[in-house]
Amino acid sequence: MKEKFFANKYINFVHNGITRSVPVQITLFVTSRCNIRCKMCFYWEPVENKSTHEISLEEIEKISKSMPNFFWLLLGGGEVFVRQDLPEIVEMFYKNNNIKHLTIPTNATYKEKIIISLEKILSRCPDLFLNLDLSLNGIDKDHDDLCQSNGVFEKFLDTYKDVSELKIKYKNLGLGLSMTHSKFNENNLNEVIDYTVNNLSSIDNLNLNLVRGKPKDSSAINVNLEKYKEAVLKIENHVMKGNIKTFQHFFGKIAFIKDMIMRRVIANTVKFGYQIPCLAGKTSLVIDERTNVYPCEMLSSIGNLRDSNYNFMKILNSEKLKKVVNKIKCENCYCTHECSYSTNILFNILLIFTILKTYVLFSLKRLVNVKTIFKNFDDLKYFKSRKSKGFYGQQGNLYDGKTFGKIDASVKKKNQRFHFNYSIIVPTYNSEKTIEHCLKSVKKIYDKNEIEVIICDNLSSDKTLELVKKFPFKLVENKKKQSASSTRNLGAMNASNDNLIFLDSDCVAPENLIFLIENTPNFLDAKCIAGNCSKENIYKNFFSQYKTSYIHFKFKYIKKDVLNSAIMFIKMKYFFEIGMFDENLKALEDDDFCIRFQSKGYSILYNKNLEVHHYKKFNFISLTKNDFIKSKTLTAISLNNLQNNKIKNYKNWLQQYLRSMINILVVLLNLIFIGNYLFFPEINDLKIFILINSLYLFNNLDFFLFNLKNYGFIFSLLTFFYHFFTFVVVIIAVTIGTIEYIFKKIKYLVTNH
């Protein structure tokens, strides 16, 4: 119940953040002054200029009073504690804006000022959680060299000791440690981590920030990504083992999990480019020491508060900010700035499930090490890298104040392409004979469109995984062998986008798959779109071709408003609302899902042009077995849903299977006729036999003519007889399925009464 409570708490937090028209995080640069000159600092130019035109306390008060409430204040700029009035600044935002979380980074050289300021802030703002972030980038002389100042490491230790004692008095004080990964110290970071574990027990959170912006020495950004990953995993493993604490309150744990995801996204950003949508300007804003307002630290100013009489809301509601937010979204702007990524991840609705799942596991201490969550470092490539007009490691280039304003034509409707994001989900199990054909077709779609491809494997024992790894797709695996439904659901739960496409591993998709989906009539209003399998099969033996022709004919000419999981489109929202595929079913999970989907009053659109090639090989035994299992399963599904009144439009459902019911009747009448002929030959009339089978011919005439037209006379004739046999199998399966269903219900009633 506790976990459920906190989960709801987080969901509400995210919901409030998403639906708010004002930011939840404000970064305020209170000064550009700093007493040291770190080699990797991206803010070196204002520091070098020794500007004295910093924002005054009176100005901050005016700004604060013009702002709405927000959750998180982050103070920054140069060295924050050079200001004597820091407690007064914080108190203003605490009283005027009801802030709940405060982060203050520091180089830890002003011990006395830090202790005095902290005491005042914590005593005046009892409901505020304050996280003091100490900077440490090396041990002893290494740290001093990076700061280009002597004695900094010694001052760090002195400050750490006194703040640790202050923590005992104030429970709302957190103590973090931040390292900046750059070219200068990447070989020594493991030493810093080990030192923290062995000597700095009061540290609540150990952060690793990737160097950003344009440092004075540009070589700082030439980092070794593998060393960054190594340091990240080392930190996380220490946390999992309890060697490094994380904040014990709910949002502290969420923050740690956010960091786990963030570091992987940042690494993939460096390696591949744009990964996730940026919410800068929407969930967060930056105000510098001259009252300039920025969507983030990496972009140019959108206005100055002095010019608007310190009216924050005037800038917040300005057309310029709206255009900036729109441009960030449309041009896929990106960087590697952790402050922006924090809100990008926390308020990304598609990551809620991952965050909450990880939180529960972490809280229950079921994690031995980080690999129990993420199988490898690149496992969280949530969004496929996309073409972007953004940047890595640069500052202020996207918005220059002049060329800004028009949205790229690429985001507008063009050639019926709406530019929605899709996740293609391909379940696999021992699919080595077909998977390569399937993924080659998907690769063509992947190269042409902004999509994500997720391969979900159900513990294949053949060469399936070996073949899958040849492609640049995300691979997830069941922990134990389960149903095909479970495998599909696993793919959906790992999807980053809100438009899902399910494709079977024995299917080959058309290159214009996305175009076909988006050109379905009423596409923009569609919740779910059903496709079909083509009438062609690579395997030309009768049983394989019969199955292919029957599936194609059934969906194109008989069944409407039904699903074929071999190729289907559905919006993620409705997929989870319905309850995903039933993982207890061994077959026909799409039929069951269709019934539940329609019981909600939703309709399925059918696109006759949306077809995949189904490359499935059958022989007499495998096809008979397939028909038996599906018929028995359909019986249980139908009876169960009828009992639970989920088939609300019973008449429509009856019509869907009317043809099959007539065929079953014909088979039964033939069996009766044959039985009578064997035991009572005198009362049999050949006319009755002809009449019965004329009904069979009439009921299936369009199917036989379809086969005649497409496959020839011999195939159609064979179909006439084999199709009859399939319904003998159906009768047996329905009978057994009905009996099993009745016995299960009797057993349930006996057990529960």
Lowest mean pLDDT among 183-187, 316-320, 585-589: 585-589
Closest CA to 613 of 704, 543, 552, 560: 552
Report the pLDDT averaged over residues 713-736: 84
Predicted local distance difference test score (pLDDT) of residue 236: 82
Flag whether pLDDT at 5 surpasses 80: no
Flag whether pLDDT at 417 surpasses 80: no
Predicted local distance difference test score (pLDDT) of residue 216: 72
Flag whether pLDDT at 697 surpasses 50: yes
Q: How confident is the model at residue 481 (pLDDT cuts 50, 70, 90)?
A: confident
Predicted local distance difference test score (pLDDT) of residue 679: 57
Q: Are the CB atoms for 564 and 555 separated by under 8 Å?
A: yes
Lowest mean pLDDT among 52-66, 94-108, 225-239, 631-645: 631-645
Report the pLDDT averaged over residues 620-631: 83
667's tokens = 């088979």
Q: What are phi and psi of 180, to 5 degrees?
A: -105, 115
Flag whether pLDDT at 366 surpasses 50: no
pTM: 0.52
Flag whether pLDDT at 558 surpasses 80: no
Residue 712 CB coordination number (10 Å): 10
Report the pLDDT averaged over residues 429-452: 88
The mean of the pLDDT values for the chain is 79
Predicted local distance difference test score (pLDDT) of residue 132: 93
Report pLDDT digits (tens) over 161-194. 999 999 989 988 989 899 988 888 888 888 999 9
Report the pLDDT averaged over residues 333-344: 81
Predicted local distance difference test score (pLDDT) of residue 736: 85
Q: What are phi and psi of 26, to 5 degrees?
A: -120, 130
Lowest mean pLDDT among 184-188, 305-309, 390-394: 390-394
Report the pLDDT averaged over residues 687-714: 79
Predicted local distance difference test score (pLDDT) of residue 456: 93
Q: Where are the alpha helices (DSSP H) in 382-483?
A: 435-448, 464-468
Report the pLDDT averaged over residues 108-137: 92
Q: What are phi and psi of 738, to 5 degrees?
A: -65, -45
Q: How confident is the model at residue 87 (pLDDT cuts 50, 70, 90)?
A: very high
Q: Are the CB atoms for 504 and 427 separated by under 8 Å?
A: yes
Flag whether pLDDT at 120 surpasses 90: yes
Q: How confident is the model at residue 133 (pLDDT cuts 50, 70, 90)?
A: very high
Strand segments, DSSP code E, in 376-498 are 422-428, 451-457, 474-477
Predicted local distance difference test score (pLDDT) of residue 401: 28
Q: How confident is the model at residue 325 (pLDDT cuts 50, 70, 90)?
A: confident
Predicted local distance difference test score (pLDDT) of residue 221: 78
Flag whether pLDDT at 91 surpasses 90: yes
Lowest mean pLDDT among 194-203, 305-314, 368-377, 677-686: 368-377
Predicted local distance difference test score (pLDDT) of residue 148: 85
Predicted local distance difference test score (pLDDT) of residue 371: 44
Q: How confident is the model at residue 51 (pLDDT cuts 50, 70, 90)?
A: low
Query: What is the DSSP annotation of 529-594?
Result: EEEEE-S--S--SHHHHHHHHHHHHIIIII--S---TTEEEEEHHHHHHHTSS-TT-SS-HHHHHH
Predicted local distance difference test score (pLDDT) of residue 363: 64
Q: How confident is the model at residue 726 (pLDDT cuts 50, 70, 90)?
A: confident
Flag whether pLDDT at 340 surpasses 80: no
Among 133-142, 381-390, 579-588, 711-720, the range of highest mean pLDDT: 133-142
More confident residue, 455 or 680: 455
Predicted local distance difference test score (pLDDT) of residue 159: 93
Lowest mean pLDDT among 307-311, 413-417, 708-712: 413-417
Predicted local distance difference test score (pLDDT) of residue 113: 92
Flag whether pLDDT at 392 surpasses 60: no
Predicted local distance difference test score (pLDDT) of residue 250: 62
Predicted local distance difference test score (pLDDT) of residue 96: 92
Q: How far, in Å, CA of 302 to CA of 297, rounded?
A: 12
Predicted local distance difference test score (pLDDT) of residue 323: 86
Lowest mean pLDDT among 71-80, 583-592, 657-666: 657-666
Percent of the chain exceeding pLDDT 90 equals: 19
More confident residue, 162 or 723: 162
Determine the straight-line distance between the first and last CA of the chain, rounded to whole angstroms: 28
- What letter represents residue 130's amino acid? L
Flag whether pLDDT at 404 surpasses 80: no
Flag whether pLDDT at 752 surpasses 90: no
Flag whether pLDDT at 631 surpasses 70: yes
More confident residue, 131 or 561: 131
Q: What are phi and psi of 482, to 5 degrees?
A: -135, -165
Report the pLDDT averaged over residues 87-99: 93
502's tokens = 């399910």
- What letter represents residue 527's amino acid? K
Flag whether pLDDT at 399 surpasses 70: no
Percent of the chain exceeding pLDDT 70 equals: 81
Flag whether pLDDT at 92 surpasses 90: yes
Q: How confident is the model at residue 391 (pLDDT cuts 50, 70, 90)?
A: very low
Q: Are the CB atoms for 434 and 505 separated by under 8 Å?
A: yes
Q: How far, in Å, CA of 248 to CA of 612, rounded?
A: 51
The SS3 call for residue 611 is strand
